[in-house]
Structure 1
Amino acid sequence: MGHLQENLGRVRQRIRDAAMRAGREPEAIRLLAVTKTVPVEQIQEVVDAGVDLLGENRVQELLAKHRQVRGSVRWHMIGTLQTNKVKYIYDKVDLIHSLDRLSLAQAINRYAARLGRPIDCLVEVNVAGEKSKHGVDRRDLISFIRDVTAFEGIHIRGLMTMAPYVDDPEETRPFFRDLYHLSREVDELGLQRVEMRHLSMGMSNDFEVAVEEGATIVRIGSSLFGGRS
């Protein structure tokens, strides 16, 4: 067994253990492999080992890897998405994690009409209020989602956040818990084309805490592939 398969086994076990601690079904949490700067050969190795969700931060990398990676995989766009780049990926991704402004919603809606079906998106929320991070301010979330419901070409399937990077993962818990409660608030509104199915939160340094607080998708890069150059 190669080191990537070993890493994958360890990550899956850590997800399972965190789910069990929280009284959750481990199968309810999806592992998304973050492929930013990762060579196609390594991506293919984890796909062959059973990973079926891949996430890219950059449109150009997604396009190149989408053509090369073999197997039954689904691609997610997890990075900041410029409105003029939607045209390149709208028909290649299953889920956009980074809907954070109305201009982007308008662009996605236009290409959904071309696709002939709504495009699934998560609303990115800047729960911690960090100026260096993208995302809707938590105080504006509900009004933003109400505005997005005007676009028939968008289905909101949940929320995404990036917690602050800290040495102690336990310090991220309040942010993940906050996102969970925000999702419950949104769900109770019963808005059309809005379904709080997913919470995309937790990365290599904090995904166990995220799982304990309700994550359904964890975005794992370095714990699978090692540090990036």
Structure 2
Amino acid sequence: METIRHQRDEVERRIREACSRSGRNPRDVNIIAVTKYVDLERTGAALDAGLIHIGESRAQEAVPKWEALGDRGTWHFIGHLQRNKVKQVVGKFQYLHSLDRFSLAEEVNKRAEEAGKPLHCFIQVNVSGEGSKRGVSPEELTEFARETAQLPFIRIEGLMTMAPYTEDPEETRPVFRGLKRLQQQLRTLDNPRLDVPHLSMGMSRDYSIAVEEGATFLRLGSVLVGRQN
């Protein structure tokens, strides 16, 4: 646990520095501890170290962790979600970061209505255009967001993207900047359900750049809790 505390302190220091460079308040940046590669014990240690937000991406592995620890944190499902797994996520996780197709949105809305609890969702956007990345294209975003905003048990909290893997984190900046522009674009639609206050972007290699470009949720795994498998 002390190692995780040390890593958390170092991450928070770098966030403060990035906020200072970009004129932001560090309190506006949330850290998600991505625990998908670590076991239940280490996930519990992350919570013990004061990390509130927990990120998982595989339902079959995430649900047992939630059953053991779910009352201790805020849980984010950050991976690709199949429709037949939605019922395992809704009612347990407070956030979904990978809403990328309308069929999934309809299933989430249905299950959230059954649970009597709306789900806070990020629309995943493939800003980089890489074929290996999921998400709606920037050109499809406005129509998709408008359609999804009509589903009463989905709360669109913001946008999410994944930057390309690169040796130089600076090369990710155009992707993060592009997501920020798309956020501003949605805000011009004068739809209160598309205020999209948050941006989920930035991982272990590039989170300082993401903070400088407006990230409000960082998804941090190896730099924070390590990796066991």
Give the TM-score normalised by structure 2: 0.96
Q: Does 1:144 align with 2:161?
A: no
Q: Does 1:98 align with 2:66?
A: no
3-state SS of 2:125 partner: strand
Residues 186-211 of structure 1, C-alpha deviation per residue, up to 9 Å, x if partnerless? 01212242221110000000000000
Mapping of 1:181-192 within 5 angstroms? 181-192=181-192
Q: What's 2:44 paired with?
A: 44
The 1:40/1:150 distance shift into structure 2, 3 A limit, reads same
3-state SS of 1:32 partner: strand
3-state SS of 1:31 partner: strand
3-state SS of 1:126 partner: coil
- Is the 1:129–1:137 Cα contact (8 Å) retained in structure 2? yes
Residues 157-176 of structure 1, C-alpha deviation per residue, up to 9 Å, x if partnerless? 10000000100000000000
Instruction: Give me the whole-angstrom Cα distance separating, in 2, the residues matched to 1:70 and 1:137.
Output: 33
Q: What's 2:23 paired with?
A: 23
Mapping of 1:153-172 within 5 angstroms? 153-172=153-172
- Is the 2:91–2:115 Cα contact (8 Å) retained in structure 1? yes
Figure out how many residues of one structure are paired with residues of the other and give that number. 229
Deviation at 1:117, TM superposition (A): 3.5
Deviation at 1:149, TM superposition (A): 2.1
Instruction: Give me the whole-angstrom Cα distance separating, in 2, the residues matched to 1:61 and 1:185.
Output: 36
- Is the 1:159–1:198 Cα contact (8 Å) retained in structure 2? yes
Q: What's 1:5 paired with?
A: 5
- Is the 2:37–2:227 Cα contact (8 Å) retained in structure 1? no
3-state SS of 1:76 partner: strand
Q: Does 1:197 align with 2:208?
A: no
| Percent of paired sites with the same residue | 45
Instruction: Give me the whole-angstrom Cα distance separating, in 2, the residues matched to 1:138 and 1:185.
Output: 10
Instruction: Give me the whole-angstrom Cα distance separating, in 1, the residues matched to 2:49 and 2:4.
Output: 9
Mapping of 1:201-220 within 5 angstroms? 201-220=201-220
Q: What's 1:32 paired with?
A: 32
Mapping of 1:51-90 within 5 angstroms? 51-69=51-69, 72-90=72-90
Instruction: Give me the whole-angstrom Cα distance separating, in 1, the residues matched to 2:70 and 2:158.
Output: 28
3-state SS of 1:222 partner: coil
Deviation at 1:227, TM superposition (A): 4.0
Instruction: Give me the whole-angstrom Cα distance separating, in 2, the residues matched to 1:113 and 1:33.
Output: 28
Deviation at 1:113, TM superposition (A): 1.4
Instruction: Give me the whole-angstrom Cα distance separating, in 2, the residues matched to 1:99 and 1:78.
Output: 9
Residue identity in the other structure for 1:85 = K
Give the TM-score normalised by structure 1: 0.96
